[in-house]
Amino acid sequence: MDFALDEDQTAIQDMASGFAADRLAPNAAEWDATAHFPKDIYREAAALGLAAMYTGEEHGGSALGRMEAALVFEALAEGCVTTSAYLSIHNMVAWMIDSFGSDETRAEFLPSLCTMDLFASYCLTEPGSGSDAASLKTSATTHGNADYKLNGGKAFISGGGTSDVYLVMARTSEDGPKGVSTFLVPKDAKGISFGKTEDKMGWNSQPTAQVIFDDCIIPARNRLGNEGEGFTFAMKGLDGGRINIAACSLGGAKAAMKAAANYSVERKQFGKPIADFQATQMKLADMATDFAACQLMTYRAAHAHDTGDPRVREKSAQAKRFVTDACWHIVDEALQLHGGYGYIKDYGIERILRDLRVHRILEGTNEIMRTIIARRILKDVKDATLDEAFSV
């Protein structure tokens, strides 16, 4: 498996890195401190083709692969983890509409999502169903001849109250995953409202709030696919979303690791740079090795998605579990190398640590990732295909 970047991929990575250095990194600390959601910056990113990267070109998407998207999210997160993470959610919604929506729905929503004239949120989690997503209670019942009526609520929604379009999983029939359908709910729909903006540990420059449906009326044409297909759509969206959030973790870890390496050369103790001490060198070596492993797992999962690998769910789960855990640890070690300065906001490491912590929870907790991986291994035992579980 060759992960050497071709000329186009290198150009895309360089473009994203330049945008991150010029437009994200200089502002990330202020956005975090003031809880500012930089819509103008997102629209600049959209103008570069980054708002619908793996959406088709028909309605304005960039038609890139998941490998290219991973490179972009990694590069952007080096400048600002939170901005890159929200952009990954927006991209996921655009892709789901492009993949599962009707021609009419795609034409109605995608052009404005591609330019980020409209911002999008993904709504699966509920106050009473987080890891057990298939038990969601938000309902969608037929209303009149051509409408649905939604009741219930979603929790921890990135962009909640700010986004213009909400991709919502709601129950249309029986309990369990087969009774779930997917709907697009505009912010101005009758009966939609929002909870308070949550006061969070990290991800402060993107708002998070409950989305509440009280006899919320939407047209039937806003349903994606057929009734009962929604949970399948949601899981396919998350297969890619887990790769994206791993890539965002890579970018944050890279920024912290670079800062720690530079600081170790500049900071002197006992008359010489701390980089001269073997303890520092061991930390830097472990951080760099762990980071290399994280990159390989992320790119492997992206490659699996791009090539239609039937084990993409398992590989995405492995990448999400390993990378988000390991990258958070890399940042923690970078903070430790800074000593007391790492705990000071001026140095930026503590912000990255706060931002990366939630990556181990969202898009499915890392405990759920372990469940997905283990179930596949046990299926391989039953099917006598166990060698496949331990191959590239």
Q: For 177-186, write each residue's pLDDT tens digit.
A: 999 999 999 9
Amino acid 131: pLDDT? 85
- CA dist 180 and 168 (Å) reads 10
Please state the three-class secondary structure of the chain as a single string. CCCCCCHHHHHHHHHHHHHHHHHHCCCHHHHHHHCCCCHHHHHHHHHCCCCCCCCCHHHCCCCCCHHHHHHHHHHHHHHCHHHHHHHHHHHHHHHHHHHHCCHHHHHHHHHHHHHCCCCEEEECCECCECCCHHHCCCEEEEECCCEEEEEEEEEEEECCCCCCEEEEEEECCCCCHHHEEEEEEECCCCCEEECCCCCCCCCCCCCEEEEEEEEEEEEHHHEECCCCCHHHHHHHHHHHHHHHHHHHHHHHHHHHHHHHHHHHHHCEECCEEHHHCHHHHHHHHHHHHHHHHHHHHHHHHHHHHHCCCCCHHHHHHHHHHHHHHHHHHHHHHHHHHCHHHHHCHHHCHHHHHHHHHHHHCCCCCHHHHHHHHHHHHHHHHHHCCHHHHCCC
Confidence of residue 124 (pLDDT cuts 50, 70, 90): very high
Q: What is the mean pLDDT of the chain?
A: 96
Q: What pLDDT is stored for residue 1 in this prediction?
A: 66
Largest CA distance in the chain: 80
Least Cα distance to 48 among 101, 116, 95 occurs for 116
The answer to whether residue 229 is catalytic is no
User: Quick check: 143 pLDDT over 90?
Assistant: no
Burial of 132 (0-12, 13-18, 19+ CB in 10 A): exposed
Domain annotation for the chain: domains and CATH numbers:
7-118 (1.10.540.10), 121-226 (2.40.110.10), 231-389 (1.20.140.10)
Q: What is the pLDDT of residue 167?
A: 98
Cα–Cα distance, 95 to 195 (Å, whole number): 27
Task: Name which of 296, 203, 310 is nearest 243 in CA terms.
Answer: 296
- Identity at 29, one-letter amino acid code: A
Residues 226-242 have pLDDT tens digits of 999 999 999 999 999 99
pLDDT at 367 over 90: yes
Assess whether pLDDT exceeds 90 at residue 166: yes
Residue 143 CB partners (closer than 8 Å, separation 6+): 149, 217
Annotated catalytic residue, options 44, 363, 367, 388:
363
CB 187 within 8 A of CB 120: no
Distance of CA 305 to CAs 118, 300, 317, Å? 27, 9, 12
Structure tokens at 56: 């088709």
Identify the pLDDT of residue 204: 98
Share of the chain above pLDDT 90, in %: 93
Residue 389 has pLDDT above 90, yes or no: no
Q: How many residues does the chain have?
A: 392
CA distance 81 to 203: 8
Asked whether residue 19 carries a pLDDT value surpassing 80, the answer given is yes
- Above 80 in pLDDT, residue 269? yes
pLDDT in tens, 194-228: 999 999 999 999 999 999 999 999 999 999 999 99
Predicted confidence band of residue 265 (pLDDT cuts 50, 70, 90): very high
In this model, does residue 391 exceed pLDDT 90?
no
Query: What is the pLDDT, as a whole number, of residue 130?
Result: 81
For the stretch 51-107, pLDDT in tens is 999 999 999 999 999 999 999 999 999 999 999 999 999 999 999 999 999 999 999
